[in-house]
Copies of this chain bind each other. A is one copy, B any other.
Amino acid sequence: MSIAQHFATRAARMKASEIRELLKLLDRPGILSFAGGIPDAKLFPAQAFAEAYAEIMAESASKALQYSVSEGFLPLREWIAGQMAKIGIPCDASHVLITSGSQQALDYLGKLFLSPGDTALVNWPTYLGALGAFNAYEPRYDRLDVRGNRPASDYAQAADAAGGRVKFAYLSSDFANPTGETVDRTGREALLDMAEDLDCVVLEDAAYQSLRYDGEAVPPILALELARKGDLDACRTIYCGSFSKTLSPGLRVGWVVAAQPVIQQLVLMKQAADLHSATINQMVIHKVAETCFDTHVDTIRAAYRSRRDALLDALARHMPGGVTWTRPEGGMFVWVTLPKGMDAADLLARAIAEHDLAFVPGRAFHADGSGGNTLRLSFSCADAAMIEAGMKRLGQLLRG
């Protein structure tokens, strides 16, 4: 028997990720990898975590090791509500669900909204992990025009023709993975207008929002909608946050802030899917966040800012003509566009084989398989010498 013949139809949409297969090649010494996109482990507040685990185990071991509620650890939800208020989203714990990283929030939101054939609006390119999460629910993708130049009726007709409805527009609002770009306030307001016209949900992925290195902070989309409506429970924007890029990804703690009916349905979903996120990790994240969140975020912003500056500087010196790139105000990524006709996947094979250099080719971030001449560079784990050597190699590769 072949057990695969018993798989649900959705399994056909769940394939190995290009990035994942790629990362397996990068263990060998000497390779300069700009592929990863993970935080620098040297910057984790390890001492604060060590102390927090020790304190929680000394004070509350029985609670930390036991089952807990699906909504999440109440003091952590209250702390998050306090943080949200600081960025224009006053709310209380009833609007907050703890998830196992924001990746789980994307999975649950796909599960909550998408029936097969429904449409999800996403950027071309968009976060690869969002496509991965949504794919399990067999949606159709359409290209989100953040500027609002495409009329809502156009999206709706295309979705209808495909046998479903536009359920949501997904976007990473600040320093997006993979482009590093931020949607400005005008774009956010236009997106909200479009969502009203189309009567769809907005999924705001704020995973990188705390990592701003310069420029003015833009209010979250949810804050802008709340300012219009005055009532969080009337808002259609669902905000996904994470501690993975600020404190630690290894504990798997993220959160969703949304209208109560959404949170209540997500709680039921989480209860059915994994009961709750790890109790002890929620308690520890709460303790560390209370102790040092703001100062720690300042520390990592300073470190990543100088790496971004070094990368932009090295690109300017080493890239040949015809190559362009984004200039992110935060986050971990610079997005490079090669001359038309070049293929970044082919280039990667040569980069690894001939130059001990790695990056992520851009096609996988495009729901329609376009973007062959694009690539993503991550600067989060690179020091100045590595950046200089890496961009020099990339320049040689592009010229050769």
- State whether A274 and B46 are in contact (beta carbons under 8 Å apart), knowing that A6-B113, A41-B66 are contacts in the complex: no
Which one of B49, B103, B132, B234 contacts A65 once the chains associate, using CB atoms below 8 Å? B49
The smallest beta-carbon distance between A116 and chain B, in angstroms, is 8
Q: Closest chain B residue to A272 by CB distance?
A: B132
Please tell me if A269 contacts chain B, counting CB pairs below 8 Å: yes
Quick one: which of B10, B62, B250 contacts A115, CB cutoff 8 A? B10
Residues in B neighbouring A7, C-beta threshold 8 A: 112-113, 265
In the complex, the answer to whether A101 meets B44 with C-beta atoms within 8 Å is no
Asked whether, in the complex, the Cβ of A65 is within 8 Å of the Cβ of B250, the reply is yes
Q: A61 interface residue, CB < 8 Å from B? A: yes
Q: Is A259 an interface residue (CB 8 A)?
A: yes
Q: Which listed residue (B46, B63, B112) contacts A11, Cβ 8 A?
A: B112
Q: Contact between B274 and A101 (Cβ–Cβ < 8 Å)? A: yes
Interface status of A343 (Cβ within 8 A of chain B):
no
Are B62 and A57 touching (Cβ within 8 A)? no
Bound-state CA distance A42–B62 (Å) is 7
A25-52 interface bits toward B, Cβ cutoff 8 Å, 1 = contact, 0 = none: 0000000000000110110101001100
Given contacts A62-B42, A118-B8, contact A280 B250 (CB under 8 A): yes
Shortest distance between the CB of A268 and any CB in chain B (Å) = 5
Q: A100 contacts which of B16, B112, B136, B274 (Cβ < 8 Å)?
A: B274
Contacting pair B281 A3 (CB below 8 A): no
Q: Is the CB of B65 within 8 A of A61?
A: no
Q: Identify which of B4, B57, B199, B251 contacts A278 (C-beta below 8 A).
A: B251
Report how far A42 CA is from B4 CA in the complex, Å: 44
Complex interface: chain B residues within 8 A of A62 (CB): 41-42, 44, 46
A228 contacts partner chain B, Cβ-Cβ < 8 Å = no
How many copies of this chain sit in the oligomeric assembly?
A: 2
* Chain B residues within an 8 Å CB radius of A1: 199, 234, 236
User: A92 at the A/B interface (Cβ < 8 Å)?
Assistant: no
Closest to A282 in B: B250
Interface centre among A2, A248, A279 (most CB of B within 10 A): A248
Whether a CB of chain B sits under 8 angstroms from the CB of A309 is: no
Check A271 for interface membership: any CB of B closer than 8 A.
yes
Other-chain residue from B4, B17, B133, B252 in contact with A265 (beta carbon distance below 8 A): B4
A14 proximal to B (CB < 8 A): yes
Interface residue from B39, B269, B275 paired with A252 (Cβ < 8 Å): B275
Q: Which of B44, B129, B273 contacts A61 (CB 8 A)?
A: B44
> Which residues on the B side are within 8 Å of A61 (C-beta)?
44, 46, 49-50
Residues of A in contact with B (beta carbons under 8 Å apart): 1-4, 6-11, 14-17, 20, 38-39, 41-42, 44, 46, 49-50, 53-54, 57-58, 61-68, 70, 100-101, 103-104, 107, 111-115, 118, 129, 132-133, 135-137, 165, 167-168, 199-201, 234, 236, 244, 248-252, 259, 261-262, 265, 268-269, 271-281
Q: In the complex, given contacts A8-B112, A20-B271, what are 20 additional A-B residue pairs having Cβ atoms less than 8 angstroms apart?
A: A6-B113, A6-B168, A7-B265, A8-B115, A38-B66, A38-B67, A42-B62, A46-B65, A49-B61, A49-B65, A50-B54, A53-B54, A54-B54, A65-B250, A66-B250, A104-B274, A107-B274, A129-B275, A135-B272, A252-B274
